[in-house]
């Protein structure tokens, strides 16, 4: 166990490693949310349609689906810093280069490079938490990290939107912040991971055997369905509901979504306290019930002020669910191949993120807007079944003691 893992709870918040992890997390979620408000301006400047501008997300996201597992294996083979530092530098340089693009094709090329830089960040920040902390302290660190992620998700659109008022170029300059984060990783992050002792065959074998475990599959199913609901039912079609039925402008839609993110941040920050009283499995089951109730509720709301209830509930469900699943996955994987294992989880999350809007979009086009929420409720129901019948608390008892 590292010296960091032995620190008392108050000292955890004074640990420089934790703040470096926060920096990696904030970089990982910067790539889309900070530039999204500038999309209309970019479309005008580059003379592309609203449909084409979505390629800025696609080109950023796709590289991660393919190369994240490879980068995870490299991080297990050669150490976390060897992958993290070049990734952060590439993210910063390629993201900033987008501001100087003279054509949309050139911008897409830079976005693909930036996506390659981003590919490892969402997996390796969790890997570092697993490397550096154990037991309840790991749950606390995971909760704090979830809070930071939610705060970044809430604030980046506002910051990016304010910069976009000055010109479409300016939100891209936020990417420069990744470079000092990379330098801090290089100079101040505690060294973790392998020194090259594991071979590729050994890593592949260990990860493959873990992925088919009856303990892991329900967690992957849970995170996949969560991202279907988040990016399909909530971020995409809840915003459409606010626009079509309640005629809210983008400012108020952003404020409503930010309220949910702040609730997620608060709930995540309490994870360490919650896991002292409740198991992660019970927290996940509670979240599944909340998701189901929310998506059954949304089509029935007739007064916009009543959305305060589902927005708060959804934020709370996110805050206890995602960090709990990630904490169990992080604790399950052996340190020697943790990065490769969590990289697969990152691919599962990205796949849910990509499929959610697409699948529910088919429901929207073929049936109705309200039907998208009932489809999301079906996903919540499947998640609830998985959590109650295929997750056993005793399987994860090691979370209380070991690592």
User: In this predicted model, what pLDDT tens digit does every residue of 381-400 receive, in sequence order?
Assistant: 999 999 999 888 777 664 44
Q: Give me the count of residues in the chain.
A: 403
Q: Nearest-CA neighbor of 333 among 190, 147, 203?
A: 203
Asked if residues 80 and 339 have their Cβ atoms less than 8 Å apart, the reply is: yes
Q: What is the arithmetic mean of pLDDT over 186-212? A: 71
User: In this predicted model, what pLDDT tens digit does every residue of 234-264 receive, in sequence order?
Assistant: 877 887 888 788 887 666 776 787 788 889 9
Asked if residues 116 and 67 have their Cβ atoms less than 8 Å apart, the reply is: yes
As a whole number of angstroms, the distance between CA 27 and CA 290 comes to 30
Asked if residues 359 and 375 have their Cβ atoms less than 8 Å apart, the reply is: yes
Radius of gyration of the chain, Cα coordinates, nearest whole angstrom: 20
Kindly state the DSSP code that residue 34 receives in the 8-state scheme: T
As a whole number of angstroms, the distance between CA 154 and CA 30 comes to 11
Return the minimum-mean-pLDDT range out of 111-115, 271-275, 310-314.
271-275
As a whole number of angstroms, the distance between CA 312 and CA 395 comes to 31
When comparing pLDDT for 76 and 334, which is higher? 76
Q: What percent of the chain has pLDDT over 90?
A: 39
Q: Nearest-CA neighbor of 321 among 264, 395, 378?
A: 264
Q: What is the pTM of this model?
A: 0.79
Q: Which two tokens stand for residue 64?
A: 């991660």
Q: What is the reported pLDDT for 29?
A: 87
Q: What is the reported pLDDT for 153?
A: 80
Is pLDDT above 70 for 220? Answer: yes
Asked if residues 221 and 386 have their Cβ atoms less than 8 Å apart, the reply is: yes
When comparing pLDDT for 19 and 208, which is higher? 19
Confidence of residue 296 (pLDDT cuts 50, 70, 90): very high
Q: Please, what is the average pLDDT of the chain?
A: 85
Q: What is the reported pLDDT for 3?
A: 43
User: In this predicted model, what pLDDT tens digit does every residue of 44-98 receive, in sequence order?
Assistant: 899 887 657 778 877 888 888 889 888 988 888 888 999 999 999 999 999 999 9
As a whole number of angstroms, the distance between CA 59 and CA 114 comes to 9
Residue indicated by tokens 């696609």: 58
Is pLDDT above 90 for 111? Answer: yes
Q: What is the reported pLDDT for 26?
A: 94
Residue 403 CB neighbour total at 10 angstroms: 18
Q: What is the arithmetic mean of pLDDT over 26-52? A: 82
């Amino acid at each position: 166990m590292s010296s960091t893992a032995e620190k008392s709870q108050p000292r955890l918040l004074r640990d420089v490693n934790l703040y470096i992890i926060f920096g990696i997390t904030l970089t990982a979620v910067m790539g889309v949310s900070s530039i999204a408000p500038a999309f209309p301006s970019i479309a005008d400047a580059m003379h592309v349609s609203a449909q084409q501008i979505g390629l800025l997300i696609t080109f950023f996201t796709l590289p991660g689906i393919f190369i994240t597992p490879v980068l995870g294996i490299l991080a297990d083979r050669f150490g976390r810093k060897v992958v993290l530092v070049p990734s952060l530098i590439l993210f910063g340089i390629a993201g900033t280069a987008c501001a100087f693009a003279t054509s949309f094709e050139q911008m897409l090329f830079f976005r693909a490079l930036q996506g390659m830089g981003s590919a490892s960040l969402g997996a390796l920040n969790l890997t570092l938490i697993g490397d550096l902390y154990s037991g309840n302290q790991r749950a606390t660190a995971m909760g704090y990290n979830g809070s930071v992620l939610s705060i970044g998700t809430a604030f980046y659109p506002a910051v990016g939107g304010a910069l976009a008022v000055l010109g479409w170029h300016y939100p891209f300059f936020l990417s420069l912040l990744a470079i000092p984060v990379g330098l801090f990783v290089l100079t101040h992050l505690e060294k973790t991971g392998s020194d090259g002792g594991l071979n590729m065959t050994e890593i592949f074998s260990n990860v493959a055997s873990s992925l088919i475990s009856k303990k892991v599959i329900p967690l992957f199913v849970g995170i996949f369905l969560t991202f279907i609901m988040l990016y399909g039912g909530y971020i995409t079609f809840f915003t459409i509901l606010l626009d079509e039925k309640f005629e809210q402008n983008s400012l108020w839609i952003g404020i409503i979504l930010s309220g949910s993110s702040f609730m997620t941040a608060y709930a995540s920050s309490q994870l360490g306290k919650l896991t002292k009283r409740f198991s992660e499995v019970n927290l996940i089951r509670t979240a599944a019930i909340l998701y189901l109730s929310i998506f059954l509720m949304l089509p029935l709301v007739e007064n916009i002020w009543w959305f305060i209830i589902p927005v708060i509930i959804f934020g709370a469900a996110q805050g206890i669910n995602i960090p709990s699943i990630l904490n169990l996955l992080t604790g399950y994987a052996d340190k020697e191949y943790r990065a490769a294992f969590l990289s697969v989880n990152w691919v599962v999350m990205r796949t849910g993120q990509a499929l959610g809007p697409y699948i529910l979009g088919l429901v929207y086009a073929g049936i109705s807007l309200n039907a998208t929420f009932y489809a999301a409720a079906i996903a919540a129901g499947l998640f609830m079944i998985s959590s109650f019948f295929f997750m056993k608390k005793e399987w994860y008892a090691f979370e209380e003691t070991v690592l």
